[in-house]
């Protein structure tokens, strides 16, 4: 079972519901970039969903968001059938969502493990000689200081955006901050991210507002990067003055742009594994 993954470079992602997460997008993009450069690269989904349901969920995301994607090395495996011991034979095990390892209660191992995550609290912490943390935010443990990247080369071109303000108030009710949203909307229709987040969301709005929420410590916001790529105005409100990932990401992108976040052959993980 999955013996063909022996000595391969395996991106792994556990998934238990058909919900759209930023870490899933990161995983798809890293896999695709690495796959285009090596036949040894695979993407392994371990799930409690039927393979058919999961495949169509992933395919819908890919078809909406990207111009190309290679399914030839994407593997769907039931969590009830997956043999943890098999991972020990992987040349590299890479996860961009740390909870994936925690789901296996830290029993998942491999010859080399690379963790790209901003969630390295004690609850999810794993430290072994064969584990390397690539981490961006200053509030997290890291072995290597690393900018997580996006594979913009495969993003679909979008010519027309609906003239709406997309408001992100994580884990909160937009009615709590509706007065703030209205100040930025300039009469535009307001779109609530909590109820409207999907793979092709960029067609649905022209401007983006992130309001820092007391309900969520955001370690890894993606949309600032994508808005900069699509040349959309974006705004940030943080009345709480909490420096989570949203604070650092917004100010970095405003100051430096997205150049450090473009996934290409200069990527540190790519040079370690492929080059």
Residue range 70-101, pLDDT digits in tens: 999 999 998 888 888 888 899 999 999 877 87
Determine the average pLDDT of the residues in 165-187: 93
Beta-strand (E) ranges in the chain? 9-15, 41-47, 74-78, 92-95, 113-116, 131-135, 144-145, 164-168, 189-192, 207-211, 234-237
Q: Which residue has the higher pLDDT, 240 or 125?
A: 240
Q: Mean pLDDT, the chain, as a whole number?
A: 90
Confidence of residue 260 (pLDDT cuts 50, 70, 90): very high
Residue 163 and residue 110 share a domain: no
The pLDDT of residue 105 is above 90 = no
Residue 169 and residue 136 share a domain: no
Residue 165 and residue 45 share a domain: no
Give the 3-state secondary structure of residue 103.
Answer: helix
CATH number for the domain spanning 114: value is 3.40.50
Residue 173 and residue 132 share a domain: no
Residue 138 and residue 201 share a domain: no
Rounded Cα distance, 233 and 70, in Å: 32
Domain that holds residue 79: 3-150+263-273
The pLDDT of residue 128 is above 90 = no
Residue 194 and residue 87 share a domain: no
Residue 224 and residue 99 share a domain: no
Rounded Cα distance, 87 and 238, in Å: 42
- For residue range 187-217, list pLDDT tens digits in order: 999 998 766 666 578 999 999 999 999 999 9
Total domain count, the chain:
2
Determine the average pLDDT of the residues in 102-128: 75
Residue 143 and residue 231 share a domain: no
pTM: 0.94
Residue 62 and residue 45 share a domain: yes
Residue 268 and residue 249 share a domain: no
Residue 101 and residue 199 share a domain: no
């Amino acid at each position: 079972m999955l013996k063909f993954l022996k000595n391969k470079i395996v991106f792994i992602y556990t998934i238990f519901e058909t919900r759209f997460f930023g870490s899933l997008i990161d995983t798809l993009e890293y896999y695709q970039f690495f796959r285009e450069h090596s036949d040894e690269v695979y993407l392994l989904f371990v799930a409690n969903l039927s393979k058919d349901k999961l495949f169509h969920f992933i395919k819908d995301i890919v078809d909406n968001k990207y111009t190309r994607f290679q399914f030839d090395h994407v593997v769907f495996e039931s969590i009830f059938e997956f043999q943890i011991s098999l991972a020990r034979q992987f040349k590299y095990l890479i996860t961009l969502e740390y909870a994936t390892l925690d789901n296996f209660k830290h029993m998942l191992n491999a010859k080399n493990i690379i963790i790209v995550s901003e969630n390295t609290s004690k609850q999810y912490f794993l430290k072994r000689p064969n584990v390397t943390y690539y981490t961006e935010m200053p509030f997290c443990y890291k072995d290597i200081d690393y900018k997580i990247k996006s594979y913009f080369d495969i993003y679909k071109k979008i010519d027309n955006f609906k003239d709406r303000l997309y408001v992100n108030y994580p884990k909160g009710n937009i009615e709590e901050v509706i007065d703030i949203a209205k100040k930025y909307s300039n009469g535009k229709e307001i779109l609530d991210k909590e109820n409207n987040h999907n793979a092709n969301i960029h067609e649905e709005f022209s401007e983006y507002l992130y309001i820092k929420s007391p309900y969520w410590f955001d370690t890894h916001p993606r949309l600032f990067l994508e808005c900069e790529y699509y040349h959309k105005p974006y705004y940030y409100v943080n009345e709480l003055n909490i420096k989570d990932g949203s604070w650092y990401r917004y100010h970095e992108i405003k100051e430096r742009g997205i150049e450090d976040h473009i996934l290409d052959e200069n990527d540190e993980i790519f040079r370690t594994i492929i080059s």
